[in-house]
Chains A and B, each alone.
Chain A
């Protein structure tokens, strides 16, 4: 057999640039990534950037409006709002990554196992996830924190438990569709063992939509934590935290609106970054559309 005409391909760039590279060339991706990195930077090095100690009191200027010395104003104890917003990003970023990582790890394992193996395994895992899903998100998180006790890790764990079913569901659906695909039959015929099939064939094809969901979930997970914190179930004072800052600032909303405005701006900005980044990742990860800038609705 000689080389036939259909072996000639039009000049097609070989390989695929790294995910990061593609994200940077995606408008939304670059924006989301920049904002997220800014917050991660503030979370890591905020203490060196912040103009004041976030917990230091300045009794000369209580509830002072934004000025040259206090850009974002001060609160009822004379603490600098800018420094506290910066310090609060530590908690926000930590909770977003911690809770979503746990939720993703637990959810993907449950979803892949129940989707791939089916039968009783699926029935048991799926029902238990349905039970979790039936609760309103925040209510379940509040119950869990009440049981576990407040604090950064416990709140993250509670949010992770509440969020894991959505990851499990998505992973299960993908695993189900991949399970009956021809390339999986081919792998079984080749004699590939079940663990290798799960890791090599199922997981990589399950992950892309899950990663998109993870990025989008970070935004709501962070909001859920802010809500818990607003209700006093987050980190304990005096640690600065956007949710608790809002809660305190509410008492002074008419005379010192900056106490509510700046944490909210930070919260919204970080959520926006996660959302835009999630959409960008979705555009980039689709294996059949390596070019970017297409209508995101047609992808995935």
Chain B
């Protein structure tokens, strides 16, 4: 589904040149649940931004379903993000002035051809999937951290994306809530076949995914199947 070839990302200021990613080669097939681990500043989020088409690599090629995205314009990249990718962030990124339902509907605002009734139906279905159908009219500030993250997952799900990119989705949650969120993601992967790439600092969470890639100083230092991989296959 996604292939990264010789990816390099360098942040350049007038005085300093920071290498965030160096020579990253990665292939993530459809239906895989991949976790990415590494110390802070090792380039995990940068990697996620590049996979999510939010950032461009300094060098290298990003391919989605076999076609390189380097020749795509901003509008086309936005279209791919809208159609194929769902994002879940550590800090949820919900709009506090919109209700839970309106927050979930957000991606479909940028998708033409979906009627208001259809959008509402899809949003309710997504909220049901994450167990929040009773909170549709609440506002994010009225919810707990775990509930907010579930709203964020519902928002990522509404467009039925092939790929979900989760940047430390359990990072701000306690272990019980973190577990809940992880179960939702696992179910999505197992039941719907959604490809998930998750950045995490939690080894236990990472072990529940099928593949674990470790980063250090912008370089991919290991890439291995986890014990859960076999279970996933079963």
Query: Do they bind each other?
Result: no
